Structure 1
Amino acid sequence: MFGNSEMIVIVVVVLALVFLGVHIAVALGITAALGIWLMVGDIEVVRTFVANTAYEALRDYVFAVIPLFMLMGDLLAKCGAARDLYALGHRLSRWLPAQLAVATIVSNALFGFVTGVSIAAAAAFSRIAFPEMRRYGYQRPFALGCIAGSACLGMLIPPSVLMIVWAVLTEVSIGKLFLAGVIPGLIAAGGMIVFVVVAAAINPSLTGSGRKAKSGAAAMREGDAPSGLPHDEPLGPMLRSTGLVVLLVAGVLGSIWFGLCTPTEGAGVGAVGALVLALIKGLRPREIREVVLDVGRTSGPLLLLLFCAQLYSRVLSMTGFTEVAKTALLDTGLGPWGILTVMVLIWLVLGCLIDSISIILLTVPIFAPIATHLGFDPLAFAIMGIIAIETGLLTPPFGILVFTVKAAVPDRGVALAEIFRGAMPYWGVLLAVVVLLAIFPQLATWLPSL
């Protein structure tokens, strides 16, 4: 058993390495190896332990799920799914105040069913939705906040990369975790829609009410690049295009949820189906090759991250750190709600500084056992954690989603403060969903229990 000083060392070392800029996988791997060496003092035991963990982790079938779902999402996104979703949402929401903001939120929610990556959604809709909203006179902070805030839905609505990573670390069912995110995701999307509609009704100037849409040339003169939306395209082709995407995603997720196939098999079918759709929509072989290479470049390091996280999690368990952390939190007398609040605050702070997957890898091996001991349902706690972590990506001063939007918008004059200011209401909506889940965990557990 470790002494307290050694336990502190392995936590301090990993945090120091991360904040010094060392890659999270390297930091976790070094710290895990250091922890084993401090326990046994034999480098050969360290080598054997690392090799065995790597073999057991990387031969697990679940490691194929991430690259296959990413391939499905990237193929659909590359062939214009995001653009079609937004154009359709625009056409169908014309009767609502803040119709373009509503279309952005709905499109982000549907796009979440395609990609499962919030940063990808933020980058895509910064280029598609922002120019269109500016063309109709939307105020910049309102438009930018809508894009950044609703992009968080990408990680909450399945298939989500964060859900897969969480499931791997905690050994919960990926299919059940996917189901657990559906109702909270729809509630979050509904809350965002209510906000933009009410805000537009109270203050019509937010959406340029009464102003005519600027022409493409005028938009370009004012720094807002044209969106390229098919304003005059017939509704039929847009419905067919979007319907095929929705049908594919519903078929893949439904087959997993109803037990017709494993997550890996479902992801494989989805990737093949997305390839067929991409070819139908005219994606060229060179572009398909680029998508496959991009997925490999993204998923390769992610799989290494997962292996190092499992290694680190095992070391934490062997050293007794998880038990010590649980005892320390319980001894504070804060109670379950107080401890949950501390965890959410830690996630919010970390969300300002590092990416979502790194936060999960660092905290979930410690927090999940504590939450289970406190009586929180594992599925409800997972969704609460994912929402809180995504909320951290909107938190000043270093919210990563905000920086993504800043880098992707065509208007170079956009300031970070504008995006942060516009995103704060969405930050509040997401935290409200966390509170709802804490009070009513059935929102996350009802569908998986059917």
Structure 2
Amino acid sequence: MIELILHLLPVVIMLFLLLVGVPVAISLGFAGSIGLLLFFGPDQLFGILLSTPRAETAAYTLSVLPMFILLAEFVSVSGLASDVFETGQRWLSHIPGGLAMATTLANGGFAVLAGSSLASAATMSRIAVPEMRKYGYNDQLSMGTVTASGTFAIMLPPSVALIIYGVWTETSIGNLFLAGIVPGILTLVGYLFLILFWVTIDPDASGEVRSYSWKDRMTSVKKIWPVGIIALFVLGGIYSGAITVVEAGAVGAASALLVALTHRTDRNSLYGALDETVTTTSMIFLVIIGAVIFTRYLAFTGITRQLIDGITSLPVGELGTTLIVLAVIIFLGTFMNQIAILILLLPVLYPLFVTNFGYSPIWLGIIMIKSGEIGLVTPPLGMNIYVATSVIDVDIKDAFRGAAPFIIIDLIILGILLAFPDITTILIN
């Protein structure tokens, strides 16, 4: 009994540190170090601490991360998000709920290039919510649209979360990109139908409509040509076989820099993009290092195998086990980012679902990322909600109420992916 308690002590320490707000990397690394020290002594611990940082981060495949992050930062400072929103507004604001639909499309488009739901929520809440208020939209519809619509785009390429999953599990990143397209589009369509249904049963939610001339619409389209150019360079290069995924990240970053320069982005903003890229990349690498230390402890003590055996022995079957795991991922998604969730859970979930249950590793990646994104807008801790309300003066209760219908759509899409797993591989096949 005492040995079991000692085995679980590092896990308890890790969970406690996460709950009190200690950064994920420190929580994982510290808890794993305590476990290694208790069971294997200082020599083993220091050996791992000396070798792990370089061994786990000095990998060519990981160089794809800073490139795509740099792409996202250049897009963010270029003002392209505003242009995309303006285009959607001019094409859709003449129909009821059209501005919310435009926000969904613009937020999704920005999230695709930014690679972050949190960045999308922060950026689009500043741009879209004041505009929607001006047209008479209520805060529930406005905030629900802004906070939820960034999440579906993380399924669409180029997704940083899918890159992390591919690198960590040695799964083809190109195939993962293809696998995310159909689930992402299904979610987008579901959101658009939800908005249409919402404004039909509650016309006051959407306010007034406004029509723009065809000249104004076509003029707005000219402003967003860089989106197509970046997508062509990145995705066209990958799927034509002309460049690798790593090279595509570099090409995408270079094209995004050209976009920022054509938008006359000032020098300080460009320096800020470089600084944010270094900060974000360092954070991801620290999480990887901390997670490796913690998972080494789990592996050396046999806890990983015990967890898998314990989960598979539950009298709920494969479906019941899957639902329990997805509920845990959704909960973790309310206060942890995708990268931390993937690195923390993959050592257990990958052998459980791929080796024991025989599921596709591509399906597992899509399911994990989809579940974690749902957590970002799930009360009481949805990170997207708190990020959005921190940059715009909105009652957080209205934001959570507005996000609730979108969560229902997400759960329906998740159910479809569970019932028809071949959806994730349809484009690959």
**Shorter-chain-normalised TM-score: which range?**
over 0.9
Report the Cα distance in structure 2 between the residues aligned to 1:261 and 1:401, rounded to whole angstroms.
34
- Measured against aligned partners, the alpha-carbon deviations of 1:192-241 in whole angstroms (never above 9, x if no partner) come to 0011012212321111147x89xxxxxxxxxxxxxxxx999844443233
Aligned-partner SS, 1:269 = helix
Task: State the Cα distance separating 1:305 from its structure 2 match.
Answer: 1.0
In the other structure, the counterpart of 1:216 is: none
In the other structure, the counterpart of 1:407 is: 390
TM norm structure 1: 0.89
Task: State the Cα distance separating 1:27 from its structure 2 match.
Answer: 1.6
1:315 aligns to 2:314 (yes or no): no
8 Å CA contact 1:70, 1:115 repeated in 2: yes
Report the Cα distance in structure 1 between the residues aligned to 2:163 and 2:5, rounded to whole angstroms.
33
8 Å CA contact 2:90, 2:216 repeated in 1: no
The partner residue of 1:440 within 385, 403, 420 is 420
- Provide the identity percentage: 29
8 Å CA contact 1:169, 1:365 repeated in 2: no
Report the Cα distance in structure 2 between the residues aligned to 1:110 and 1:370, rounded to whole angstroms.
34
In the other structure, the counterpart of 1:427 is: 407
TM norm structure 2: 0.93
Unaligned runs of 5+ residues in structure 1 are 214-229
Equivalent residues in 2 for 1:37-76, closer than 5 Å: 37-41=37-41, 43-76=42-75
Task: State the Cα distance separating 1:54 from its structure 2 match.
Answer: 2.0
Equivalent residues in 2 for 1:50-449, closer than 5 Å: 50-209=49-208, 234-372=216-354, 373-409=356-392, 412=393, 414-447=394-427, 449=428
Unaligned runs of 5+ residues in structure 2 are none
**Aligned-residue CA RMSD in angstroms?**
2.3
Aligned-partner SS, 1:114 = helix
8 Å CA contact 1:113, 1:249 repeated in 2: no
Moved more, 120-129 or 232-241: 232-241
Moved more, 140-149 or 2-11: 2-11
Report the Cα distance in structure 2 between the residues aligned to 1:297 and 1:181, rounded to whole angstroms.
27
8 Å CA contact 1:148, 1:401 repeated in 2: yes
Report the Cα distance in structure 2 between the residues aligned to 1:28 and 1:49, rounded to whole angstroms.
14
* Paired letter, 1:433: I
8 Å CA contact 1:109, 1:153 repeated in 2: yes
In the other structure, the counterpart of 2:7 is: 7
Report the Cα distance in structure 2 between the residues aligned to 1:5 and 1:311, rounded to whole angstroms.
20
Report the Cα distance in structure 1 between the residues aligned to 2:207 and 2:419, rounded to whole angstroms.
39
Task: State the Cα distance separating 1:3 from its structure 2 match.
Answer: 5.8
* Paired letter, 2:387: T
In the other structure, the counterpart of 1:30 is: 30
8 Å CA contact 1:165, 1:306 repeated in 2: no
Report the Cα distance in structure 1 between the residues aligned to 2:378 and 2:8, rounded to whole angstroms.
28
* Paired letter, 2:186: I
- Measured against aligned partners, the alpha-carbon deviations of 1:52-111 in whole angstroms (never above 9, x if no partner) come to 222221111122222211111111121111111111111222454311011011112221
Task: State the Cα distance separating 1:339 from its structure 2 match.
Answer: 0.7
Report the Cα distance in structure 2 between the residues aligned to 1:38 and 1:321, rounded to whole angstroms.
15
Moved more, 21-30 or 75-84: 21-30
Aligned-partner SS, 2:426 = helix
Task: State the Cα distance separating 1:407 from its structure 2 match.
Answer: 0.9
Q: Would the alpha carbon gap of residues 257 and 3 (structure 1) be closer, same or farther in structure 2, given more than 3 Å must change?
A: farther
Report the Cα distance in structure 2 between the residues aligned to 1:157 and 1:231, rounded to whole angstroms.
31
Count of equivalent residues = 427
Q: Would the alpha carbon gap of residues 380 and 20 (structure 1) be closer, same or farther in structure 2, given more than 3 Å must change?
A: same
Aligned-partner SS, 1:113 = helix
Report the Cα distance in structure 1 between the residues aligned to 2:69 and 2:357, rounded to whole angstroms.
35
* Paired letter, 2:364: F
* Paired letter, 2:401: R
